[in-house]
A and B are shown apart, each in its own frame.
Chain A
Amino acid sequence: MIMKNNIKTKRKAYSVLMKALMGISVTLTCALVLFLIGYILVKGLPNISWKLLSTKPSYLDDSIGILPDILNTLYVVLATLVIVLPLGVGAAIYLNEYASNKKLVGIIEYASETLSGIPSIIYGLVGMLFFCQFLGMKTSLLAGSLTLVIMNLPTVMRTTQESLKTVPQSYREGAFGLGAGKWRVIRTVVLPSCVDGIITGCILSVGRILGESAALLFTAGFAHALNGIWDGLTSAGATLTVALYVYAKENGEFEVAFAIAAILMILTVLINLAATMVGKYFKKKKNI
């Protein structure tokens, strides 16, 4: 009897303990997110001003503006997407629609998984050696963007591939039955049905590009100059994250750093919202 009771209390204690530990963990995680958002917004928002957003840093008036960094970020995001989208979507289409050799598919998928595991500092180093030095691009936004293309390729490939897998086989068979060639089927049937995967890949890539710093430090540099529209891509420049690092670590300008952090935080929230909304929208559409 005593023994039975003993086991009962033990079991009960185990449940209570595990429940408590789970409660603590969840609370910690949530508190962490709330703290990070709150702290950065409280410290950063008051420092954001129109002047900060619309000027470049000037030694004459001893003022700091982040307009060049914003433009550089835009450039890098656009240039990377323009190159990575066709590559990633093309690779996904090859894997899903063309490839018949299982070994080759295995190799390509393993390569893509390897790419997504390589740390950004190594991308930065290889980008510097290959694009900046070997291909002679010097430290430039273009070299930075090309480095980011390699980094984001697995993301775009994966999201496109996932959505290609949901395109019903009957769509393809219907089109083939009507006499369409393979390329025509891909262009008119397969591609339009996997737009959701491509858009999700886009959003995720934008998020990664915005947050990237280590890969850009040695490929795109940390200049804060305003460039013309055309020579922007070939000149060096800091994106917002790199600018944050430089202002916080090297210059000790914490107010500017927090302002940039707040901007990045808001962008991160927006990107997360966009990704969720796109997912929901297309899910609804596909169900109908």
Chain B
Amino acid sequence: MKNNKSFADRHKKLTEDIIHIIFLIFGLITVAFVLLITVYLIIAGIPAIRKIGLIKFLFGTKWASTAAEPEYGILPFILTSIYGTAGAIVIGVPIGFLTSVYLAKIAKPRVRAVIESAVSLLAGIPSVVYGLVGMMVLVPGIRKLFNIPDGASLLAAIIVLAIMILPSIIKVSLTALDAVPKEYEDASLALGANPIETYFRVSVPAAKSGIAAAVVLGVGRAIGEAMAVMMVSGNVPNMPSLFQSVRFLTTAVASEMSYAAGLQRQALFSIALVLFLFIMLINALLNFFLKRSRGTKEKHSRKRKEASD
């Protein structure tokens, strides 16, 4: 009898251990995926950089991968990605930020709910749909408005990107603004500041880490977007200029991948590696701001507790 029980116990213990290990493996899969992506990009990306030379690859101003004497300089792509992202941030952040302040502090709950669902809809629209609308509305519009031969340009890409990062900026800033303790605002109002002054000079500074995280998230989205940009930017490897057809880091990879071979193909992987490094840098920055934002939230609640004690 006793023997029997201990066998059942041992059996139970074994099953529990096995299940524990299975779940551990599930947990480690994300880490494995990140390693897989990193290792693959490095292995695939290094050979071409070695052959071309790092300086020549990163700072070469001419990309002519199909020429008789091919040249692989990706500076135009890097600069286009940076300019395009900066442009999208300059347009998208003020609009998104002001909208989120309105939603967090002024809008009535019903209005807020409607606009919030509209914003999530904006986030859910596939990027090719943005690309299509950009192609059919924005590109001809720019051509007519500025009287240039082709409207597919950096400007068109910037506008599309600004629209596409809007939802992330609004949502993340909204969360940060919602977390500002009401006591701060009450104190400011009691001291004689009017509501608008309170929102912009008390609430916004209190939520600044969260808003910074929103901007960084927007940067990440903009620099990583491929399809929509490919459809409106014209795809010619020029040095960036507002009214010229340009090629981004993402679109450089996408546009030649289907037919590239040999060194040209390897160079595309190297471009992806450069893009990946940019993204990792942005991720680290994002993490930093998110952590700080969580830190301030804890500080808020601690202060509130002290006050109530």
Contact = CB atoms under 8 A, between A and B. Distances in A.
Nearest to B13: A181
A19 B40 CA distance: 51
A278 interface: no
A117 B213 CA distance: 13
The 7 closest A-B pairs by CB, nearest first: A119-B224, A90-B26, A211-B126, A94-B27, A25-B98, A94-B23, A15-B196
Contacts of A264: 125-126, 129
A113 interface: yes
B33 A257 contact: no
A201 interface: no
Contacts of A181: 12, 15-16
Given A39-B137, A111-B33, A119-B226, A244 B132 contact: yes
A22 interface: yes
A119 B275 contact: yes
Interface of A: 11, 14-15, 18-19, 21-26, 28-30, 32-33, 36-37, 39-40, 43, 86-87, 90-91, 93-95, 97-99, 104, 107-108, 110-115, 117-126, 128-130, 150, 153-154, 157, 181-183, 207, 210-214, 217-218, 241-242, 244-245, 248-249, 254, 257-258, 261, 264-265, 268-269, 271-272, 275-276
B197 A11 contact: yes
Contacts of A129: 40, 44
A125 B253 contact: yes
A213 B130 CA distance: 12
A115 B33 contact: yes
A26 B99 contact: yes
22 contacts: A15-B196, A18-B199, A24-B98, A26-B102, A28-B95, A29-B118, A29-B119, A29-B170, A32-B122, A91-B27, A93-B26, A94-B26, A110-B287, A120-B224, A150-B33, A183-B15, A183-B19, A211-B127, A213-B227, A244-B128, A249-B230, A275-B120
Contacts of B15: 181, 183
B90 to A, nearest CB: 14
Sorting the interface of chain B by its residue count into under 10, 10 to 19, 20 to 34 or 35 or more gives 35 or more
Nearest to A150: B33
A241 B287 CA distance: 31
Contacts of B287: 110, 113
A268 B126 contact: yes
A214 B254 contact: yes
Contacts of A126: 36-37, 40-41
Interface in B210-260: 220, 223-227, 230-231, 250, 253-254, 257-258
